[in-house]
Amino acid sequence: MNIFIIITVLTSSFFMISSARADGDISVSNAWVRQVPPGVTVTAAYMTILNSGDTGDKLLGISTDASKSVELHESVVDDEGVVRMNMLQELTIPPGSEVALKPGEMHLMLIDIMDPMEHHEKVTFVLEFKKAGSIEVEAAVGGPGSHDDGKTRHHMH
Number of C-alpha atoms within 13 angstroms, CB side, residue 81? 1
Residue 102 binds to Cu ion (criterion: CB under 5 A):
no
Between 46 and 129, CB nearer to Cu ion: 46
Between 34 and 73, CB nearer to Cu ion: 73
Sign of CA dihedral 132, 134, 140, 142: positive
Cβ 85 to Cu ion, closest distance in Å? 4
Within residues 69-88, the interface with Cu ion by CB under 5 A covers 73, 85
| Size of the chain in residues | 157
Helices (H), the chain: none
Cβ 128 to Cu ion, closest distance in Å? 19
Name 107's Cβ contacts closer than 8 Å, sequence gap at least 6.
Answer: 44, 45, 46, 72, 73, 75, 101
Between 10 and 42, CB nearer to Cu ion: 42
Cβ 73 to Cu ion, closest distance in Å? 3
Between 6 and 88, CB nearer to Cu ion: 88
Interatomic CA distance for residues 7 and 10, integer angstroms? 9
* The binder of Cu ion chosen from 99, 109, 114, 126 (CB under 5 A): 109
Which residues would be at the binding site for Cu ion (CB under 5 A)? 73, 85, 109
